[in-house]
Amino acid sequence: MSVNLKSNIKHFSAIFFVSNRKKVMDYYSKLGFWCDYEMGFVERDGLMLIFHESENPKSIIPNSPLHGKEALHIFAMVEGIDGLYEEFMSKGAVFHYTLKTNQYKMREFAIIDPQGYTIGFGEFLD
């Protein structure tokens, strides 16, 4: 007997350890993310991040110092990259790298949060 069970992954959540959860969450709140300070969740348009305070803050090592200037922790595909970039710029985002067109015919930029975690955003050109 064959059972056909269909499944669907609905969204993705990344968990990051931080030394000061409130400071990191305040940054994302400023950029327009919904924040649940009690649970440590931030979310915007299906991109969810979960922040936990580390018991050993000295053990937190973001990717960029280890793997180079453009190393990222997360990369999200978006629609309307130019508008998102302008919005984040107007809200005081700190950019890991500014809006550019890469060799893959994609427009992209990346932000960096107070803990040093980086999120890239990209959109393929037509």
Q: How far is CA 122 from CA 28, 79, 98, 102, 103, in A?
A: 18, 8, 11, 10, 12
Q: Is the pLDDT of residue 60 over 80?
A: yes
pLDDT bin (cut points 50, 70, 90) of residue 14 is very high
CA distance 87 to 84: 5
pLDDT bin (cut points 50, 70, 90) of residue 58 is confident
Report the half-sphere exposure of 125 (CA within 13 A, side-chain side): 9
Decide which of 60 and 33 is more confident: 33
DSSP-derived secondary structure letter, 56: -
Torsion-angle region of residue 89: left (phi > 0), alpha (psi -120 to 50) or beta?
A: alpha
Decide which of 8 and 81 is more confident: 81
Report the half-sphere exposure of 95 (CA within 13 A, side-chain side): 15
Query: Global pTM?
Result: 0.88
74 forms beta bridges with 119
Query: pLDDT digit string (tens) for 64-121?
Result: 667 777 789 999 999 999 999 999 999 999 999 999 999 989 999 999 999 999 999 9
Going along the chain from its start, the domains and CATH numbers come out as 12-55+62-124 (3.10.180.10)
